[in-house]
């Protein structure tokens, strides 16, 4: 089985790559950073194809995905996991710098939309089964002060997934192509560390979760998400939350 993965250099993305590789999958991954040392052996063995790619540049991101898809086997399902994302800028919306907002929306929404659309188009053209899983956030589904860019970009990602499903159904591809936008819960990553260093309304919740040991480890979240990607009824709920599946997430 093959997995295409964005944002694989650290945190949840790195854990997802490690989980897939440990399960015998072949992974094609990209990130802005260089290949992590923990994945070097898998890359040397040909199990992992790594590319350095800045998702703020949509043309480069699309070129990467098309190259990966062109090298995929002719048979079997295709899996794309859109994990890459950024948190900043944080702050009250009137204070957010225009250029920072523009870059944030490109990375979190614009490029994932384009990659998802290219993937759906490839699956339709080749008549292949395709599963697209986008990592969303609970912030997409409830407003959080000082998180305006993140809330908006993730909410937009949720809707983009819904539109891809609607287009697949309208074209008769709904039986082959399924897309889900999945919130992963509160995961113990570098992003969470940065959140706890900030001053904004609601930060105490994240401080308490960390102090009480109630954050999900990257490895635990990755295992639950990887299991979810393989479920027989994948796509039955297009806007979902991994916390609805406590047995798998344990």
Write down the pLDDT at residue 248. Answer: 41
The predicted structure's pLDDT at residue 200: 74
Q: Report the pLDDT value the prediction gives residue 185, as an integer from 0 to 100.
A: 86
Q: Which pLDDT tens digits describe the chain residue by residue (250 residues)?
A: 999 999 999 999 999 999 999 999 999 999 998 999 999 999 999 999 999 999 999 999 999 999 999 999 888 899 999 999 999 999 999 999 999 999 999 999 999 999 999 999 999 999 999 999 999 999 999 998 999 999 999 999 999 999 999 999 999 988 899 999 999 988 877 777 677 777 777 777 767 766 777 777 999 999 999 999 999 999 999 999 999 986 443 3
Class of CATH domain 2-184+218-249: alpha beta
Put the strands of the sheet holding 26-31 in their side by side order.
Answer: 48-52, 26-31, 2-6, 78-82, 130-135, 177-183, 239-241
Domain locations in the chain as residue ranges:
2-184+218-249
Q: Is 17 left (phi over 0), alpha (psi -120 to 50) or beta?
A: alpha
Q: What b/e string do you get for 77-86 counting C-beta neighbours within 10 Å, with b at 16 or more?
A: ebbbbbbbbb
Name the helix (H) or strand (E) containing 4.
Answer: strand 2-6
SS3 at position 92: coil
């Amino acid at each position: 089985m093959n997995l295409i993965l964005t944002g694989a250099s650290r945190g949840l993305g790195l854990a997802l790559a490690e989980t897939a590789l440990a399960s015998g999958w072949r992974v094609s991954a990209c990130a802005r950073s260089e290949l992590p040392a923990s994945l070097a052996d898998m890359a040397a063995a040909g199990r992992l194809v790594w590319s350095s790619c800045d998702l703020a540049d949509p043309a480069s991101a699309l070129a990467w995905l098309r190259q990966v898809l062109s090298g995929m086997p002719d048979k079997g399902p295709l899996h794309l996991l859109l994990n890459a994302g950024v948190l900043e800028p944080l702050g009250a919306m009137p204070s957010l710098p225009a250029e920072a907002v523009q870059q944030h929306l490109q990375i979190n929404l614009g490029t994932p939309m384009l990659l998802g659309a290219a993937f759906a188009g490839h699956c339709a053209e080749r008549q292949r089964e395709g599963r697209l899983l986008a990592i969303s956030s609970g912030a997409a589904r409830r407003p959080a002060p000082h998180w305006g860019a993140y809330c908006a970009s993730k909410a937009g990602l949720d809707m983009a997934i819904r539109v891809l499903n609607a287009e697949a159904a309208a074209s008769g591809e709904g039986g082959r192509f399924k897309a889900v936008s999945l919130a992963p819960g509160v995961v113990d990553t570098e992003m969470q560390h940065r959140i706890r260093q900030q001053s904004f309304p609601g930060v105490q919740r994240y401080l308490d979760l960390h102090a009480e040991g109630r954050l999900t480890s990257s490895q635990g979240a990755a295992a639950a998400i990887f299991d979810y990607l393989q479920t027989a009824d994948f796509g039955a709920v297009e806007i979902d939350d991994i916390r609805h599946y406590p047995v798998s997430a344990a």
